[in-house]
Every structure is written in structure tokens, then in C-alpha cells.
Structure 1
Amino acid sequence: MSAWVKPALTQPQGAIISSKMQELQQSDQRWIQIDLTKQRLIAWEGSKPVYAIVVSTGKRSTPTRIGTFAIKSKHRYNRMRGEGYDVPNVPYTMYYYGGYAIHGAYWHRRFGTPVSHGCINLAVNHSKWLYNWASVGTPVVVHK
């Protein structure tokens, strides 16, 4: 009788994230790393960091989801609505999982502090650079 092997999806989240980061660093692919603990975003080309900035991620009551994702859609401007907020003309929005996005934030300057409803907030000038650099399909890795 052969031994049963656990599918990759049952691995602890940290092991999956770590494995994906190693795989991306061994490629020449563009990818985005979000470090929730340090409130940092790093744009990579394989193992070479090409851009690093301070961001604001989700606050405790509306946390940013951890995991491995990919840019699903890009919008130069987008309206974002949810419980307790309705923000028009959100610049350089890149959705990577459901309603979660990386985008510019013109309504605050508290970068480095978790203040969002789960999205990754960047200063508008930084979000413009990242929006122009990334494409649909660019991997996004979010970890603690």
C-alpha cells in the first residue's frame, strides 16, 4: 500500500508563500512582495529588487489577506465603495484578489501604518510607477 501524500494546498500558508518567493527569485520574472510587518512593498525582477517603498495595508479590523496572488485587472481610475467608505477616482488601481487591490491613496499620508480596508495603499507617485511597471498576471506575494 502506498503512502498518502498531502496535496500542496494543505501545507501551512507560510511554507507555500516561502516556496513561491524562492521560485520567483530563481526566475527573471517581475513580481511584487508586500511585507505586512514592515509595511513595505518591493518590486522585483527575479532576485533583483528594483523599487522599494513604504505602504499602508489593512488595519486590524479589516486586514490585508496573506497569500500568493496575481494582478487580475488594472484601472487608471476606479471608484471604491464598501462599508464606511466611498472613494471616487482612486488612481492606478491593480486588483489582485477579489476586492483587494494595490492603489494610490490621495486621502491620507499615513504610509507605514496599517489604515486601509485591506488594500495596499501607496503614495500616488509610487502607485503610478508600479502601475506602469506591472502587468496583468504579475505575481503578488503578501506575507507577515
Structure 2
Amino acid sequence: MRSVFYAVFFLLCATLTQAGVVAKVDVSEQKMRVYSNGKHLYTWSVSTARKGKWTPRGTWSAKHLSRHHKSSLYNNAPMPYSIFYSGNFAIHGTNNISRLGSPASAGCVRLHPEHAAVLFNMTRNVGLKNMKVVIRD
């Protein structure tokens, strides 16, 4: 049974890295690796959920983009270059760049604004259905 699990896991990973743009977030490392058509392009520091909050794990397609988004839940906090993937959860830029590389968010995946702009434009170029978000421990 274990060998079947690993075979499916590796097939899924191979498929995802071939699907346009893939942003793989490793919560334990606080890193995002970005792939385009299976080729690794970038590794960036991120901030995921701080203590008492949760960043959901799983795989999603991008749902919608918002260039100048402001949080309706957190005092209109700026969320530039937002890529929403699950409900109110998004990958977005932050002005709190000193915290990148450590848990600091309310659940979203925060990036340096320059990196968020790159990922946002890549997503816009390939289309929402061709951008995958993978978040794991």
C-alpha cells in the first residue's frame, strides 16, 4: 500500500510542476518555490500563520486576482498583488518584510511585494486555472 501511495504522490508532483505556474509553500521552512512549466525559477522567503492562526494545507488553483486588495478582516491592511486560492486565503505582498522567513500572518502566505508582483504577473499571463498553489508542512 505504501508503494502505491508514493507512486501517486510522485505522479501528482510531476503533474503539478508541468501545469503552467506552481507555487509550492513549505510551512516548516517558510519558503516558496515557484515553477513555470516544470522549471524551478525562484525560491523566496514567506510568512505563513503565526501562533494561534492557521494556513490551510493542500492544493488549489488560483481563484481570483486583486492588484490593490485591502483586508476586510484586518483593518484594511494592504494586500498588494493578491492571488486568492481558498476563500479568504491568498498569497500576497506585505509591507512587513522584516518578518519574512518566520510565521507572522493571520493565515495568508505573505511575500516581499516585489516577489508578489512577479508571481501575480506570471499568474495573470498563464491564467487562473493554470496556476497551482501547493501548501505543505
Range into which the TM-score falls when normalised by the shorter chain:
0.7 to 0.9
The letter of the residue matching 1:41 is: M
- Give the match for residue 44 of structure 1: 35
TM-score scaled by structure 1? 0.79
The answer for the alignment partner of 2:136 in structure 1 is: 143
Greater percentage in helix: 2
Is the counterpart of residue 78 in structure 1 residue 40 in structure 2? Answer: no
| Deviation of 1:16 (Å) | 7.6
Supply the distance in 1 between the matched residues of 2:92 and 2:55 (Cα, whole angstroms).
13
CA contact (8 A) 1:17 1:68 kept: no
For residues 51 and 79 of structure 2, the distance between their equivalents in structure 1, rounded to whole angstroms, comes to: 22
How do residues 24-35 of structure 1 correspond to structure 2 at under 5 angstroms? 24-25=16-17, 27=18, 29-35=20-26
**Normalization by structure 2: what TM-score?**
0.83
Structure 1 residues 78 and 38, CA, compared in 2 at 3 Å: closer, same or farther? same
Correspondences of 1:49-64 after superposition (within 5 Å): 49-64=40-55
Overall identity of the aligned pairs, in %: 27
Let me know the Cα RMSD of the aligned residues.
2.2
Q: Deviations over 1:53-108 (max 9, x none)?
A: 000001131110000111100011111132xx213442101100000000000144
Bigger Rg, which one: 1
**Gaps (5+ residues) in structure 2?**
none
Q: Which residue of 2 aligns with 1:97?
A: 86
Give the direction of change, closer, same or farther, for the CA distance of 1:16–1:67 in structure 2 (3 Å limit): farther
User: By how many angstroms is 1:21 displaced?
Assistant: 1.9
Against the structure 1 CA distance between its residues 17 and 63, is the aligned structure 2 distance closer, same or farther, given a 3 Å change threshold? farther
Structure 1: where are the runs of 5+ without partners? Answer: 1-11
Cα offset for 1:112? 0.5
Distance across 1 between alignment mates of 2:118 and 2:13: 22
Q: Find out whether 1:22 has 2:14 as its counterpart.
A: yes
What is the aligned counterpart of 1:115 among 99, 104, 117? 104
Cα 1:75–1:28 shift into 2, 3 Å: closer
